[in-house]
Amino acid sequence: MTASGEPTPESNILGNFASVIGLLGAALFFTGWIYRWSYFSCFQLNVITLDLPVESFFIVPLQVFLGDGWTILKSAIALLLTSLAIYHTLWLVNSINKTVTTTINRTISRWLSYLYGTRFWWLYRILKSWQQFNLNRYNSIKLLRSLVDEIIIVGWVLLVLFWSAYHQGIADSRRDAGENSTLPAVALIAKQDNIALGRKLDDPTLRLAPKGFKAIGDAGLFADLSKIDYTDINNPKEPRVWRLLLERDTWIYLFPALTKEQQKDPKARPPVIAVQQSQSGDQLLIISTAPSQPAK
């Protein structure tokens, strides 16, 4: 600030920089939240209940805009189209405003010519005063017009960010749910009484039959999962690979990857099971980039 109270150029630069950083942070968080929401919704999980770290939402947009070459190209096209959409929308609003103003002024001028010299002089004076009134002299009107322009700009930006993050989240979840998943293959080893699903390690054809478990809801879902509760590497026609979706707050989220036939259905979604991590050391979680190979 100068002695007269006017802001210096340096303070204006810092203020503008801080505003840009704030807007950029809000845009990144919004994009990351929409991406996570669409991604986990494909696995029937609510992103709100997962309690993910806030800082991760600022990193996720890198996947949305810079994931690969095609994603970068789409981001550049989206940026160009967004700029054109903002420009043409502002131009359209300004054109409509000018057209309406011109039409109103012509109508008032026509009425003034009719009322001039008649007994309705009071109405003539009112219309004449209204026509000569200059809205541009008032800062509040200028602020309102600036606010409308900013709403248009922010609206277009949020719309593009929403659809970009939403569709990228859907695409990534469909990829990770299938055979070309980027998620790790997983093996969960636990004591028989601590897990309802699973098979005996010495004979994978024998399913565990833990005692003391009860069921609520659709028991058929459990029956279906018990048929594919391990990775069958000896069946190349219908491989069953379990993937690790997420580890969060002492919970492990696992799912069986979709087969090629299942992936042909755009509505197909893998079932997800949540297993609580053991605190007594009697549980083992093995994570690998790829499933094991059949013995020769």
Identify the domain containing residue 39 by its residue range. Answer: 9-177
**Per-residue pLDDT tens digits for 156-178:** 999 999 999 999 999 899 999 88
Question: Is 224 in the same domain as 121?
Answer: no
Mean pLDDT of the 252-266 span: 85
Measured distance CA(151)–CA(158) in Å, rounded: 10
> Domain check: are 155 and 219 in the same one?
no
**How are beta strands 185-190 and 199-200 bridged, if at all?**
unpaired
- Asked, for residue 1, whether it belongs to a domain, the answer is no
pLDDT at 65 over 90: no
13 and 144 in a common domain: yes
Tell me: do 164 and 192 sit in the same domain: no
Same domain, 283 and 229: yes
Same domain, 121 and 77: yes
Residue/partner pairs of 40-49 with CB below 8 Å, 24 or more apart:
40/173, 41/169, 41/173, 42/169, 42/170, 42/173, 42/174, 42/177, 42/269, 43/173, 43/177, 43/245, 43/253, 43/255, 43/269, 43/270, 43/272, 44/269, 44/272, 45/246, 45/253, 45/272
Q: What angle do CA 281, 40, 190 make, to 5 degrees?
A: 20
Residue finishing a domain among 177, 208, 229: 177
What b-and-e string marks burial along 110-137, b requiring 16 or more CB atoms within 10 Å of the CB? ebeeebeeeeeeeebeebbeeeeeeeee
Could you tell me if 170 and 202 lie in one domain? no
Q: Which of 124, 148, 177 is the last residue of a domain?
A: 177
Residues 122 and 203 in one domain: no
* Digit-coded pLDDT (tens) for 228-250: 777 766 666 666 788 999 988 88
The 10 Å Cβ neighbour count of residue 165 is 25
Residue 295 falls within a domain, yes or no?
no
Average pLDDT over the chain, rounded to an integer = 79
Which H helix or E strand runs over 207? strand 203-207
pLDDT at 121: 55
Total count of domains within the chain: 2
As a 3-state breakdown, the chain gives helix, strand, coil percent values, each rounded to 5, of 55, 10, 35
Asked if the structure places residue 80 within a domain, the reply is: yes
Least confident of 15-19, 99-103, 132-136: 132-136
Kindly state whether residues 18 and 156 are assigned to the same domain.
Answer: yes
Domain presence at residue 95: yes
Residue 79 and residue 178: Cα distance in Å, rounded?
Answer: 31
| 209 shares a domain with 166 | no
